[in-house]
């Protein structure tokens, strides 16, 4: 038992948030779950307060989930936490690391600059260019810049006919002025989550589609299964997560006929997939990592 005060930024009542808070409480005797919707940043008094607790007075904060759904407002919450970080609070992962991931395009550009293999990608505000890209790819997945668990993603097929395709693209553009689309790749109903703690590889789980859906997310009926990758695949995922310098993350990997591709690096990583698919108690390991970091 230590006298450290380490809070968890997350969604109160959600399993991943609470299990991490449990693990930290078991080691420190202190429990603080922060919902950023309740936080107040008081610059005059140099305080960030949530539920009566000045977060700037804590030893550490672990960002397990910044909001239920990603949006530009998520960036504002991170900026509030960046102030606490400037006040000396150790934050896991650092706000600058997460700021580079919440926006899908920012993550993609960093991966591309690092030479990481990804599906063919087009980003545009132009409907004609988006339509041409779908036809060139044969099919594409349109992805909101701010989303998790495949929410808001739309599959566009080149064989739908140009008039139908243009209408679907125009409808997508209403809510997504900057359109991000990736070539639809054949994953044979399976993709991977590769788990890293402090840059060290922990293990891999597979997400397997069960309902005939084109995506494998648990939200759309997928399930977790164990998976053992080869050393080359581990090295690819390690290189993908390295530029972000995250304390905990999951790298989403697709296995295609042309080789593996990286879809994204998670800002927060998934505990449930790690536990159910790879028998990794990520909450306990992460809690120990955080305490060691704060104590150093």
Instruction: Write the CATH number for 14.
Output: 3.40.50.20
Residue 37 is classified by DSSP as G
Q: Which pLDDT value is given to residue 214?
A: 52
Domain at 149, CATH number: 3.30.1490.20
Rg of the chain on CA atoms, in Å: 20
Claim to verify: residue 112 and residue 249 sit in the same structural domain? yes
Find, among 160, 255, 155, the residue nearest to 212 by Cα.
155
Residues 110, 159 within the same domain: no
Cα–Cα distance list, 25 to 45, 50, 270 (Å):
29, 18, 20
On whether the CB atoms of residues 112 and 122 are closer than 8 A, the answer is no
Give the Cβ contact number of residue 41 at 10 Å. 19
Q: Which domain holds residue 64?
A: 6-92
Same domain, 39 and 176: no
CA distance 213 to 216: 7
In a domain, 83, yes or no: yes
Helix (H) or strand (E) holding 241: helix 231-241
Confidence at residue 221, expressed as pLDDT on a 0 to 100 scale: 57
Same domain, yes or no: 32 and 135: no
Same domain, 112 and 246: yes
Q: What is the per-residue pLDDT for 252?
A: 96
**Confidence at residue 187, expressed as pLDDT on a 0 to 100 scale:** 86
DSSP 184: -
Residues 146 and 259 in one domain: no
43 and 132 in a single domain? The answer is no
| CATH code of the domain covering residue 222 | 3.30.470.20
The answer to whether 65 touches 10, Cβ cutoff 8 Å, is: yes
- CA atoms within 13 A of residue 106's CA, in its CB half-sphere: 15
Does residue 10 fall inside a structural domain?
A: yes
pLDDT for res 217: 60
- The reply to whether 287 falls in a domain is no
Structural domains counted in the chain: 3
Please report where in the chains the tokens 């102030």 appear, as a residue.
Answer: 83
In tens digits, what is the pLDDT along the chain, a chain of 296 residues?
Answer: 679 999 999 999 999 999 999 999 999 999 999 999 999 999 999 999 999 999 999 999 999 999 887 778 899 999 999 999 999 999 999 999 999 899 999 999 999 999 999 999 999 999 999 999 999 999 999 999 998 777 889 999 999 889 999 999 999 999 999 999 999 998 888 999 999 999 999 999 999 987 665 555 655 557 999 999 999 999 999 999 999 999 999 999 999 999 999 999 999 998 999 999 999 999 999 999 999 999 98
Q: Which residues are CB-neighbours of 283 under 8 A, at least 6 positions away?
A: 16, 19, 20, 22, 23, 271
Does the residue 285 lie in any domain?
A: no
């Amino acid at each position: 038992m230590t006298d450290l005060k380490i809070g968890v930024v997350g969604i109160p009542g959600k399993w991943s948030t609470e299990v991490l808070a449990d693990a930290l409480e078991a080691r420190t005797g202190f429990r603080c779950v922060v919902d950023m919707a309740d936080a107040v940043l008081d610059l005059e008094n140099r305080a960030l307060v949530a539920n009566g607790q000045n977060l700037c007075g804590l030893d550490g904060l672990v960002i397990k989930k910044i909001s239920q759904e990603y949006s530009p407002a998520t960036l504002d919450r991170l900026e509030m936490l960046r102030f606490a970080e400037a006040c000396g609070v150790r934050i896991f992962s650092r706000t600058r690391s997460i700021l580079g991931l919440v926006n899908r395009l920012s993550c993609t550009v960093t991966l591309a600059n690092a030479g990481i293999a990804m599906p063919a990608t087009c980003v545009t505000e132009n409907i004609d260019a988006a339509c041409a890209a779908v036809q060139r790819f044969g099919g594409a997945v349109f992805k909101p810049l701010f989303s998790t668990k495949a929410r808001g993603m739309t599959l566009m097929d080149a064989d739908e006919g140009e008039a139908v395709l243009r209408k679907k693209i125009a409808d997508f553009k209403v809510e997504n002025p900057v359109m991000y689309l990736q070539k639809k790749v054949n994953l044979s109903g399976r993709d991977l989550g590769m788990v890293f703690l402090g840059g060290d590889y922990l293990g891999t789980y597979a997400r397997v589609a069960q309902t005939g859906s084109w995506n494998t997310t648990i939200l759309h009926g997928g399930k977790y299964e164990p998976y053992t990758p080869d050393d080359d695949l581990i090295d690819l995922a390690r290189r993908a997560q390295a530029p972000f310098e995250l304390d905990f993350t999951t790298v989403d990997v697709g296995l295609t006929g042309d080789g593996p591709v990286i879809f994204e690096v998670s800002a927060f990583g998934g505990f449930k997939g790690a536990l159910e698919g790879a028998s990794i108690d990520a909450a306990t390991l992460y809690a120990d990592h955080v305490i060691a970091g704060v104590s150093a």
